[in-house]
Every structure is written in C-alpha cells, then in structure tokens.
C-alpha cells in the first residue's frame, strides 16, 4: 500500500502540534499536504532514520546533503514555511497539548530506539503521541544509524581555534575549488555582503562595497593596508589599483592565495600587493596605516576575540583605522558565546561563532580601539545571498561537476536559509569603523566623519 506520505503528515501534525505546511511526497509515490506550493520529497526512508538519530537541523541536513530529501518548487518558500513550524516556536508547548514535543524533545528518542533501552513511546504520556512515535519507528526501520555524508567536516586539529584547527576549518570551507566559487560569486570573487543600490547588479554592489571600505578607512597613496582574510584578492586589488596603497593580504586557504596571486600578476600589481598564507596571530611586520577584516572575524571564536582585537590594535600605527565587517546575531539573556547552528558548524563554517554587535564593539573598545561608526547592512546581505543562489541554480550542473552533488546542495541550503535569516532579522551584518588613538587622545578623524557617504 502506498501510504507513507499520509502517515508522515499525520505523525508530524501529532508530534509538532500543527498542520504540515508543505506537501509531502514519499519514496512510495504517495503524497499528502497542501496542494499548492513547494513539495518536500522524501526519496528514501533512510531520511527518517537520520532525523531519529540526529533530531533537529543536523539530521535534516544530512538527509538533504545525501539527496534523500529534496524540494520541488521554490526552496525559499519551503524553508520559510518550515522555519515557522520548527525553529520559531515558543520554547514550551501549552500544557493543554501534551502531544506537542517538537524537535528538541524529539532528541530524547534516540537513546530509546529499539535495541537501545526502553521504548521511545514510554517517554510520551499522550496516547496519540505514543501511536505517532510507533508509526514513525515502523516507517524508519531498520533502526541502524546511517553514516554521515562525506561532505561533513572532520576535526583533527586539536583544541577549538588553535592555529592548526582553524587552518583545517578554513580549508574545509574555502578549498572547495576556485572554479566552483567563480560560478557562485561571479567575476568579483567577493564572498561577503555587497552594498546595493536599487537598480545595481551583483558586480556593481560588490565593487561599491569594496570602495565603501576604502573610503571609510580613508586610504591614501603610499599607505600600508593589511587585509585580514583576503579571500581571492578582490579587496587588495581594488585598494591598490584605485587608492594607490601597498597591501598585505593574508589567508589560511592555499587555493585562495594562488588565485589571488594570479589575478595580481595579471593586473601588474605585484610590486604593491603581497599575498601570504598566514594566520593573523603570526603577522609581525606592523605598523600598518589601516586594516580591513571583511567576513573573517566570524572564524575567530569568542574565547579568542579579545586576542584578535588586541593583535590588530598592536599592528596599527597610532591614528590607524580598522574596518571590521562581521555577521552578528541578536543578543540572548545570560549568554556570552554562541556557536553557529549544527548544520553550518558541520558543513559550512566549522567552529564558526556569531556574537551580538554590542559584544563586538565592547571587545574592540577593551582592546584599546575607539569605535567611530557602526553601519548595519542586514538587508544588503539578504540581497547578496539571493543573487548567489540564483547564480548557483543557473550553473547547477557545472557546480556539481566541479565539487559533488552533496557539496552543491550544502551551499544551496546554506545560502537560501541564510538569506531568510537576514530578511527575518535572525541574522545581521555590520561594518564597525574603529581607530587606534594617538597619544593625547587625538583620533585623526574628520569632524564630519561620514565622508564615505554615497
């Protein structure tokens, strides 16, 4: 009998306490749920086992990466509907709905799978919930835990945010292949939030972002710029070409460094730009007149952030400026550190962490910086991510060929979900302009600091 989809819809409604917001198509061809809108396709019952063994984002992500879960229709719409059900619910279900257990309590099922102790249904007092759990276990069998997809990060480098482990984390994310990133990012090869105008293109917006950074830093010919996390060299090239500065760019990705050096040689700027494969903790050749750190500080970690800020402060000459461009998350009560969610930690940015903008500003000030300006670019990042998703979908076959089907699916899910996060205000991104004051307290900043305007 082809009835897996109706059974799954009934299970989800019972356990989550709400109607299924999208149509479901199961491996047996059956369908259930709303007729209009995107379709969540469960291609193999193994997806259910992944969710049972790793409830929440990681189990769903593993099923997506392997292709056991796919989507027909608008991925953004499906994620938007599902997010409202799974990730934006109240922390506790009403007492009048004992069957509503949600993803967090579903995690308690794993050690109680058959063969691993008492039955999972015993955890639930409500008869309907017990019945739903039994039906879910029957659909998911056999109950062995599936191996994680090969695209999942493996950490071997020792303590979190040690130099070796940071190097491995950066390699996992950025050494996917320069050809792959060309398909996603476009000719600019800038992998951070662009700066949009209403009618601009992605290339226009990325050029304008680089120029915005240069103007905020007040770059002048002959000055020294340190670009921390230089990526594929776009900021270094723009600053040297348009502002006449000498640039040192550092990255932990050998593929990025090779690509950047090739671009620099092609533009005849090797006398003004040096690209190093180097950890920011190992830079010793200050002082610099300015430092740009664009999309790098998310990799630093909360326990290292004071050190990061202190190192950059020490590398600047008195009166030197720092432009720190960093993703943020809203503050939560009684919480000082935050690790990126399980999917992003396992597949996208291993060991990445996000902090509220207030925490970032405080750490920079504690390191001796005077913070002069903070600009929020949240909506700009949503537009950037949607543009990258469109490029990935347009070049899908090439992206799969250049990496793997699983890796391409990782990037598609990560960018689409992140776009919604910025649109809904669950994520933010900010440019913080700070200065190392000279003795006596002078900042060297103009009285009307917003000369970058535009």
User: Is the same domain home to 168 and 133?
Assistant: no
Q: How many CB atoms lie within 10 A of CB 404?
A: 17
User: Is the same domain home to 118 and 227?
Assistant: no
Contact 414, 153 (CB under 8 A): no
Determine the average pLDDT of the residues in 87-105: 39
Helix (DSSP H) and strand (DSSP E) numbers for the chain: 17, 11
pLDDT bucket at 121, cuts 50 / 70 / 90 = very low
Q: Please give the residue that has the higher pLDDT: either 226 or 450.
A: 226
Q: Evaluate if residue 213 carries a pLDDT over 60.
A: yes
Q: Does residue 109 belong to any structural domain of this protein?
A: yes
Mean confidence (pLDDT) of the chain: 86
Q: Evaluate if residue 449 carries a pLDDT over 70.
A: no
Give the HSE-up count for residue 168: Cα atoms under 13 Å, Cβ half-sphere. 17
Determine the average pLDDT of the residues in 388-393: 98
- Residue 175: predicted pLDDT: 59
Domain interval for residue 57: 4-140
Determine the average pLDDT of the residues in 238-262: 96
Distance CA 370, CA 309 (A): 12
Of 76, 73, 90, 84, whose CA–CA distance to 36 is shortest? 73
- Residue 335: predicted pLDDT: 56
Determine the average pLDDT of the residues in 362-388: 97
User: Is the same domain home to 330 and 206?
Assistant: yes
pLDDT 10s digits, 409-419? 999 999 999 99
Q: Please give the residue that has the higher pLDDT: either 136 or 165.
A: 136
- Residue 161: predicted pLDDT: 61
pLDDT 10s digits, 146-155? 999 988 877 6
Of 165, 171, 345, whose CA–CA distance to 251 is shortest? 171
pLDDT bucket at 198, cuts 50 / 70 / 90 = very high
- Residue 92: predicted pLDDT: 37
CATH code of the domain in which 120 resides: 3.30.1050
User: Is the same domain home to 114 and 168?
Assistant: no
Distance CA 226, CA 3 (A): 61
- How many domains does the structure of the chain reveal? 2
User: What contacts 24+ positions apart, CB below 8 Å, involve 307-312?
Assistant: 307/281, 308/280, 309/363, 309/364, 309/366, 309/367, 309/369, 310/367, 310/368, 311/280, 311/281, 311/283, 312/228, 312/280, 312/367
Helix extents (H) in 267-377: 302-315, 342-347, 357-366
Distance CA 329, CA 235 (A): 25
Distance CA 352, CA 414 (A): 14
User: Is the same domain home to 301 and 174?
Assistant: yes
Of 350, 377, 325, whose CA–CA distance to 164 is shortest? 350
- Residue 118: predicted pLDDT: 40
Q: Please give the residue that has the higher pLDDT: either 346 or 432.
A: 432
Distance CA 257, CA 322 (A): 22
Q: Does residue 155 belong to any structural domain of this protein?
A: no
* R_g of the chain computed on alpha carbons: 24
Q: Evaluate if residue 19 carries a pLDDT over 90.
A: no
Q: Give the single-character DSSP code of 221.
A: T
- Residue 204: predicted pLDDT: 97
User: Is the same domain home to 136 and 175?
Assistant: no
pLDDT 10s digits, 431-445? 999 999 998 888 888
- Residue 163: predicted pLDDT: 66
pTM, two decimals, is 0.87
Of 221, 50, 220, whose CA–CA distance to 142 is shortest? 50
Burial of 397 (0-12, 13-18, 19+ CB in 10 A): exposed
Distance CA 154, CA 156 (A): 6
User: Is the same domain home to 284 and 382?
Assistant: yes
Q: Pull the structure tokens for residue 417.
A: 């979900």
């Amino acid at each position: 009998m082809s009835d897996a989809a109706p059974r799954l819809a009934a299970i989800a409604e019972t356990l989550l306490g709400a109607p299924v917001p999208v149509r479901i198509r199961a491996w047996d061809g059956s369908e259930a749920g709303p007729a209009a809108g995107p379709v969540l396709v469960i291609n193999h019952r193994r997806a259910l086992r992944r969710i049972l063994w790793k409830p929440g984002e990681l189990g769903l992500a593993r099923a997506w990466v392997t292709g056991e879960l796919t989507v027909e229709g608008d991925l953004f719409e499906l994620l938007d509907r599902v997010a409202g059900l799974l990730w934006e619910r109240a922390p506790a279900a009403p007492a009048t709905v004992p069957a509503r257990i949600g993803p967090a309590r579903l995690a308690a099922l794993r050690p109680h799978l058959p063969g691993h102790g008492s039955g999972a249904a015993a955890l639930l007092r409500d008869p309907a919930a017990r019945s739903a759990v039994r039906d879910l276990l029957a659909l998911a069998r056999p109950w062995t835990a599936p191996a994680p997809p090969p695209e999942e990060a493996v950490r071997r480098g020792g303590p979190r945010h040690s130099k070796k482990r940071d190097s491995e984390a950066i390699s996992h994310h950025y050494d996917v292949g320069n050809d792959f990133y060309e398909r996603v990012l476009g000719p600019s090869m800038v992998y951070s939030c662009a700066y949009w105008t209403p009618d601009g293109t992605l290339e226009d917006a990325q050029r304008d972002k680089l120029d915005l950074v240069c103007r905020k830093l007040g770059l002048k010919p002959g000055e020294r710029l340190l670009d921390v996390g230089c990526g594929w060299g776009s900021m270094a090239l723009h600053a040297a070409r348009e502002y006449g500065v000498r640039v040192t760019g550092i990255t932990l990705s050998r593929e990025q460094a090779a690509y950047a050096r090739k671009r620099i040689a092609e533009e005849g700027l090797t006398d003004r730009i040096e690209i190093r494969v180097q950890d920011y903790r190992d830079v010793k050749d200050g002082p610099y007149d300015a430092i740009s750190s664009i999309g790098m500080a998310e990799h630093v970690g909360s326990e290292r952030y004071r050190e990061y800020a202190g190192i950059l402060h020490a590398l600047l000459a008195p009166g030197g400026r720092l432009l720190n461009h960093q993703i943020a998350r809203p503050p939560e009560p009684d919480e000082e550190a935050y690790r990126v969610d399980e999917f992003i930690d396992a597949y996208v940015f291993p060991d990445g962490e996000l902090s509220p903008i207030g925490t970032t500003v405080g750490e920079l000030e504690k390191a001796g910086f005077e913070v002069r300006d903070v600009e929020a670019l949240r909506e700009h990042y949503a537009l950037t991510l949607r543009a990258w998703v469109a490029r990935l979908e347009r070049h899908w076959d090439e992206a799969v060929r250049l990496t793997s089907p699983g890796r391409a699916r990782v990037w598609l899910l990560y960018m689409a979900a992140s776009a919604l996060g910025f649109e809904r205000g669950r994520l933010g991104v900010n440019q913080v302009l700070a200065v190392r004051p000279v003795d006596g307290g002078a900042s060297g900043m103009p009285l009307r600091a917003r000369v970058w305007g535009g």
